[in-house]
Amino acid sequence: MARIGVFICHCGENIAGVVDVDAVTQAAARLPGVAHAEHYRYMCSDPGQKLLIEAIKDKHLTGVVVAACSPTMHEMTFRAAAVEGGLNPYLSEMSNIREQCSWVHEDKVAATVKATDLVRLMVEKVKRNHALQPITVPVTKRALVIGGGIAGIQTALDLANGGHEVILVEREPSIGGHMAQLSETFPTLDCSQCILTPRMVQVSRHPNITLLTYSEVEEISGYVGNFKVKIRRKPRYVIEDKCTNCGDCAVVCPQVVPNEFDGGLSWRRAIYIPFPQAVPAVYTLDEESCLGLHPLVCEKCFQACDAEAVDLDMKPEIVEADVGAIVVATGYDLFAAQQARELGWGKFPDVVTGLEFERLLSASGPTSGEVRRPSDGRVPKEVVFIQCVGSRDPEQGVPYCSKICCMYTAKHAMLYKHKVPDGQAYVFYMDIRAGGKGYEEFVNRAVEEDRVLYVRGRVSRIFQENGKLNVWGADTLTGQAVEIAADLVVLATAMVANTGHDVLAQQLRAIVDEHGFYQEAHPKLRPVETLTAGLYLAGAVQAPKDIPETVAQASAAASKVQALFSRDELEREPVVAHVDELTCEGCFDCEKVCPYGAIERKEIRDREGNLLRLVSSVNEGLCEGCGACVVACRNHSIELEGFADDQIYGEIVALWPTTVGLPELVDW
């Protein structure tokens, strides 16, 4: 006979302010099988948990229902408390009467009725719960880090220094990411490459890091602690170990194409190294620009290479690996500036994006750090910076704030003034958002020391006239129209989700938000984890971030992985399917729907060894507990622990009639 305990949490006023907890408790106490019901201010607090533990012992409870917040918050808390009280953890369930009731409903009577229903539903479920034992699985102490920007580099180094093997995968020929493209960084104005490249070199030299550049994740299967990954190495047609980085091949290459690293402001050959400090320091033959990989067509690079590093017959290669955890650090892209048509990017050569301007400022850039405009190479004397291009613009771009543009625009204006002291910099802004250590001071420095002119307003149009760019805008503080004849215009374009995020996210079974950024497990409390166990986030893949925040999150992800790797075995939820071999007819529809190949065919033989029939059998190590097989089975010979048919049946039947046990409260 079931003896269920029901505990209603007030959550301060969060629940009790809307739901009549006393009425719900009274109703719960009258439910068949309920041996104990009470309510308390904070069930998750220490005294709250003690109430539960004591009640289990005193009332000999066979199951508990805690009606409180979402199980995502505190399921583990109350399972642990149940264990302390002497119950199996899987005999504890939660009713979500906060996130899905008191916080979303204003009508107190309706909310109380709903809370009562939700409690009754869960009481019926928990009556049918079984004591389950967790399944233990070994942990592969090797991590996969996807993305070799500063986030991926930091995570990989932290993990490798912690003594764990790391596979770092980067789709471009070199690691470094966007940070390698930057000139100086706010708010300290230290050179970006100076602080980044030592770390890039560390990555390449670290004995615990396997660096796979020019590679992409092809396939991921498995689960936390036991992922299997396939990584496709694109052929770079240069043998990494043999290339001496001499550059003889590029000199003879007849094919010249725009250099992506410089935002197309310079040129490179078809065989190239993206930038001098690239890691690995080897050349890559870009097969799309190459005249043809057939030696009869060109093969000049092949002949020029004394080290015999050029291999025109190189084929894509699949690397397979077992890893225990995955960190996604695939970064961001920039909003396509041509979409803001009034600003003329793509039409006027002297309208550039912030990242292109970084290259113009950079000592390693196409102008060797001199600020010269792309159209005629003259030093611009009037430069207009426009913030929020695409950001905070639901019409043309994205609704969110890209967070870093205020800061880097201030930096751009300041650096410009340092290089061209007699020039004038204007910044069109909507608001200045400079939250961060030393950030506000930095913007003030741009205004006060470097005399950058900040104009609060938007730009409506840019057009070319007499070799100048006429910028028409408005100063909303004075209400005046503003017209500036500029030599150069710099657009602070929004940070958007990386291209290709959807394909990778699907493989990772991760959830992305409406803008394509990966969804964290909890916006405040679990910002580096995802809802997929063993999958973590680092950097701008989760949301727009600056470098310090990215590095902080990258280290956080690394420490999460290390915590996971500190154990030799993991306990998996025993939510797996089981087959009733007696009734299984062996149609193997379950086998067809199982995405994990967890269904095996088992032979049933008689004593003489004659095969009687084939039935399904579940490999618990592979089963992820989705339940697709259960629904495919017509005579219900498969059951999913934790979400068994009779549990769901109990929940459905419990919902009617709605007002069972509720004291005279409602009339609906």
Partner 1 sequence: MPDESWQPQIVAFVCQWCTYAGADLAGTSRMKYAPNVRIVKLPCSGRIDPLFLVKAFEQGADGVLVSGCHPGNCHYVSGNLLARRRFTVFRELLSFLGLERERLQFSWVSAAEAVKWTEVVDAVTEEIRRLGPRKLGWGETLPSRGSRFQVASSKVEPETRNPKPKTLQAAEESIRRIARQLLEANAVDVVVGYGNGTLSGVTTPVFVTQPDGVEQLVWNERCLNNLSVYLTRDLVKRMGRVGIVAKGCDAKALVALLQETQINRDQLTIIGVPCEGMMQNGRLAVKCVTCDVHTPPIYDHLVKVGVGIEILEIGESGEADPRDAEIAALEALTHQERWAYWQEQFSRCIRCYACRAVCPLCYCDTCIVEQTQPQWIPPAFDAKGNLSWNIVRALHLAGRCIGCDECTRACPANIRLDLINRKLALLISDEYGYRSGYDAGVAPPLTTFRPEDRAEFIR
Distance of CA 5 to the CA centre of its chain: 39
> Which three-class secondary structure state does DSSP give residue 450?
coil
Q: Please tell me whether residue 113 binds partner 1 under the rule CB under 8 A.
A: yes
Alpha helices in 206-271 (DSSP H): 248-252
- Does 132 bind partner 1 (CB under 8 A)? Our answer is no
- Cα gap 416→419, rounded to integer Å: 5
Task: Mark the segment that binds partner 1 (CB under 8 A) among 32-40, 91-99, 149-157, 455-463.
Answer: 91-99
Please state, in angstroms and rounded to a whole number, the distance separating the CA atoms of residues 512 and 565: 26
Tell me how far apart the alpha carbons of residues 238 and 242 are, in angstroms, rounded to a whole number.
8
Residues 255-294 that bind partner 1 (CB under 8 A): none
Q: How far is the CB of 374 from partner 1 (least distance, A)?
A: 39
Among 460, 583, 597, 663, binds partner 1 (CB under 8 A): 583
CB 233 within 8 A of CB 214: yes
User: What is the C-alpha to C-alpha distance for residues 428 and 346, in angstroms, rounded to an integer?
Assistant: 20
Task: Report the nearest approach of partner 1 to the CB of residue 660 (Å).
Answer: 13
For the packed helices 150-161 and 547-565, what is the interaxial angle rounded to 10 degrees?
A: 30
Distance (Å, rounded) from C-alpha 85 to C-alpha 304?
76
Q: Tell me: does residue 188 bind partner 1 (CB under 8 A).
A: no
**Is the Cβ–Cβ distance between 538 and 151 less than 8 Å?**
yes
Contact status, residue 579 vs residue 604, Cβ threshold 8 Å? no
The piece of 117-125, 235-243, 358-366, 493-501 that touches partner 1 (CB under 8 A) is 117-125
Task: Determine if 581 is a binding residue for partner 1 (CB under 8 A).
Answer: no
> Can you tell me the distance from the alpha carbon of 291 to that of 24, in angstroms, rounded to the nearest whole number?
76
Q: Give the amino acid at 1.
A: M
Q: Which of 257, 314, 434, 632 binds partner 1 (CB under 8 A)?
A: 632
Whose Cβ is closer to partner 1: residue 56's or residue 325's?
325
Say if residue 235 is preceded by a cis peptide, omega within 30 of 0.
no
- The answer to whether 30 contacts partner 1 (rule: CB under 8 A) is no
> Is beta strand 325-328 parallel, antiparallel or unpaired with respect to 142-146?
parallel
Burial class (CB in 10 A: 0-12, 13-18, 19+), 368: exposed
Smallest distance, partner 1 to C-beta of residue 518, A:
10
Cis before 574? omega within 30 = no
Task: Confirm or reject binding of residue 107 to partner 1 (CB under 8 A).
Answer: yes
How large is the C-alpha radius of gyration of the chain? 31
Options 26, 70, 202, 562; binder of partner 1; rule CB under 8 A:
70
How far is it, in rounded angstroms, from Cα 567 to Cα 570? Answer: 7
Q: Using the rule CB under 8 A, is 626 a contact of partner 1?
A: yes
From 94-102, 175-183, 403-411, 480-488, give the range in contact with partner 1 by CB under 8 A: 94-102
627 lies in the binding site for partner 1 (CB under 8 A):
yes
Residue 205 binding partner 1, by CB under 8 A: no
CB 63 within 8 A of CB 129: yes
Omega cis (within 30) before 421: no
Q: Which residues, 324 to 353, sit near partner 1 by CB under 8 A?
A: none
Question: At its nearest, how many Å lie between partner 1 and the CB of residue 448?
Answer: 40
Tell me if 49 sits within 8 A of 77, measured CB to CB. yes
Check residue 585 for interaction with partner 1 (CB under 8 A): yes
Please report whether residue 540 would count as binding partner 1 according to CB under 8 A. no
Among 441, 480, 653, 663, binds partner 1 (CB under 8 A): 653
Residue 652 interacts with partner 1 (CB under 8 A): yes or no: yes
Helix (H, G, I), strand (E, B) or coil at 565: helix
Residue 385 pairs in a beta bridge with 427, 490
| Under rule CB under 8 A, residue 625 binds partner 1 | yes
Which one, 42 or 596, has the nearer CB to partner 1? 596
DSSP 8-state code for residue 407:
H
Q: Is 121 in the site for partner 1 (CB under 8 A)?
A: yes
Specify the stretch interacting with partner 1 by CB under 8 A; choose among 98-106, 284-292, 475-483, 602-610: 98-106
* Smallest separation, CB 515 to partner 1 (Å): 9
Residue in 178, 215, 650, 662 binding partner 1, rule: CB under 8 A: 650
Tokens of 247: 């550059």
- Residue 386's DSSP bridge partners are 428, 491
Q: Return the number of the residue (132 or 293) whose C-beta is nearest partner 1.
A: 132
The smaller minimum CB distance to partner 1, of residues 348 and 643, is found at: 643
Q: Which range, of 58-66, 374-382, 417-425, 635-643, touches partner 1 by CB under 8 A?
A: 635-643
* Residue 461 C-beta: closest distance to partner 1, Å: 34
Nearer to partner 1, 196 or 644 (CB): 644
Quote the least distance from Cβ 168 to partner 1, whole Å: 26
Residues numbered 425 to 454 that lie near partner 1 (CB under 8 A) are none
* Residue selected from 453, 604, 649, 663 as contacting partner 1 according to rule CB under 8 A: 649
- Minimum distance, C-beta of residue 72 to partner 1, in the bound complex (Å): 6
* Binding span for partner 1 by CB under 8 A among 102-110, 252-260, 366-374, 448-456: 102-110
Which residue among 76, 104, 297, 477 contacts partner 1 (CB under 8 A)? 104
Q: How many residues does the chain have?
A: 668
**Residue 640 binds to partner 1 (criterion: CB under 8 A):** yes
Sorted by sequence, the CB contacts under 8 Å of residue 388 that are 6+ apart come out as 401, 405, 429, 430, 458, 492, 494
Output the smallest distance, CB 630 to partner 1, in A: 6
Amino acid at 392: R
Token reading at 102: 């008191």
DSSP bridge partners of 4: 34, 63
Q: Does position 398 bind partner 1 by CB under 8 A?
A: no
Closer Cβ to partner 1, 417 or 545, answer by number? 545
222 binds partner 1 (CB under 8 A): no
Verify binding: residue 578, partner 1, rule CB under 8 A: no
> Distances in Å between the alpha carbon of 361 and those of 370, 383, 418, 509?
6, 13, 11, 40
Question: Using the rule CB under 8 A, is 195 a contact of partner 1?
Answer: no
β-strand partners of 485:
470
> CB 486 → partner 1: shortest distance, Å?
40
- Out of 434, 648, 660, 665, the only residue in the binding site for partner 1 (CB under 8 A) is 648
The nearest distance, CB 80 to partner 1, in angstroms, is 20
212: Cβ–Cβ under 8 A, 6 or more apart, which residues?
A: 167, 168, 169, 170, 231, 233, 319
Residues 478-537 that bind partner 1 (CB under 8 A): 502, 505-506, 509, 511-514, 519, 523, 531-532
